[in-house]
């Protein structure tokens, strides 16, 4: 006797008219989804869907609706994550830690490439990661909830990227290293300004739902150029004659 469920799955899989091709043909990639999954795979699927789900509904989104989207029952979530909060923590890891690319730091400091090209490439690649529906909204939800997450992330961003950018600009213009002359408030504020411009593109798209009229890369190139020009004019005077 078939089980009765109240809802129609997203693919209408309850329909039994489709052929049963479950017959353990040891195919390497069966296109039909299994009913029982390997725990590590199930966990990954839940985590991936949770990213999408919480990005859409915020962290107040209900576990039952997440389960429905996954095609599983709600208690199953608690087999893989001890609490909703633990699942959210996993989402943070997935997005804010997992999507950071360590090679970005090399791009910035690779002096065999002209500075403007380096910055352009870094900010374009960085923008490609954070200018997504999931990244932008989750970052904002996390900020409004306010655990230290955002400040912590931005502290890392400052150390791994912003300070390196400033060091490279100093070098390019023959100024003292940031090791000798500390980074000024003005310098870091200009980097914030560039960051703000990029980040705000994501806010407009994914939080205000206002489609952009231009492609992101050209905006970034323009901003980087303006930034380089601007930072040069306000740099503190040389200390060495």
The residues of the shown chain that bind a second copy, judged by CB under 8 A, are 58, 60, 137, 140-141, 143-144, 146, 148, 150-151, 154, 185-186, 188-189, 192-193, 195-197, 199-200, 203-204, 207-210, 213-214, 219, 222-223, 226, 230, 234
Q: Quickly count: other Cβ atoms within 10 Å of residue 140's Cβ.
A: 18
State the distance between the two ends of the chain, measured CA to CA, in whole angstroms.
90
Q: Which spans in the chain are helix H?
A: 39-57, 63-70, 74-80, 84-92, 103-109, 115-130, 133-145, 149-157, 163-172, 185-206, 216-234
Residues 50-89 as x/- pattern, contact with DNA by CB under 7 A? ----------xxxxxx-----xxxxxx-xx--xxxx----
Task: State the binding partner of 170 from a second copy, DNA, none, CB within 5 to 8 A by kind.
Answer: none
Q: How far is the CB of 118 from DNA (least distance, A)?
A: 44
Q: How far apart are CA 116 and CA 160, in angstroms?
A: 18
Q: Is 18 in the site for DNA (CB under 7 A)?
A: no
Q: Quickly count: other Cβ atoms within 10 Å of residue 168's Cβ.
A: 18
Q: How far is the CB of 87 from DNA (least distance, A)?
A: 8
Q: How far apart are CA 167 and CA 128, in angstroms?
A: 24
Task: State the binding partner of 176 from DNA, a second copy, none, CB within 5 to 8 A by kind.
Answer: none
* Token pair recorded at residue 87: 């699942």
Q: Is 121 in the site for DNA (CB under 7 A)?
A: no
Q: Is 35 in the site for DNA (CB under 7 A)?
A: yes
Closest to a second copy by CB, 129 or 186: 186
Task: State the binding partner of 209 from DNA, a second copy, none, CB within 5 to 8 A by kind.
Answer: a second copy
Q: How far apart are CA 151 and CA 27, in angstroms?
A: 48
Closest to DNA by CB, 57 or 204: 57
């Amino acid at each position: 006797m078939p089980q009765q469920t109240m809802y129609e799955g997203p693919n209408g899989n309850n329909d039994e008219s489709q052929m049963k091709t479950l017959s353990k043909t040891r195919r390497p990639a069966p296109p039909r989804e299994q009913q029982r999954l390997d725990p590590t795979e199930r966990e990954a699927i839940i985590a991936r869907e949770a990213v999408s789900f919480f990005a859409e509904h915020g962290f107040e989104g209900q576990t039952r609706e997440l389960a429905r989207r996954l095609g599983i029952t709600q208690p199953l979530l608690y087999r893989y994550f001890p609490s909703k909060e633990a699942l959210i923590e996993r989402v943070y890891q997935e997005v804010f830690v997992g999507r950071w690319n360590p090679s970005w730091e090399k791009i910035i400091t690779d002096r065999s490439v002209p500075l403007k090209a380096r910055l352009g490439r870094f900010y374009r690649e960085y923008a490609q990661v954070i200018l997504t529906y999931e990244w932008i909204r989750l970052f904002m939800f996390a900020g409004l909830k306010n655990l230290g997450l955002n400040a912590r992330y931005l502290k890392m961003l400052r150390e791994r990227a912003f300070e390196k950018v400033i060091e490279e600009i100093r070098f390019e213009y023959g100024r003292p290293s940031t090791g000798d002359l500390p980074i000024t408030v003005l310098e870091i504020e200009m980097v914030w300004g560039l960051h703000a411009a990029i980040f705000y593109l994501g806010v407009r798209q994914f939080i205000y739902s206002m489609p952009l009229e231009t492609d992101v890369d050209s905006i970034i190139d323009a901003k980087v150029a303006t930034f380089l020009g601007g930072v040069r004019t306000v740099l503190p005077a040389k200390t060495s004659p």
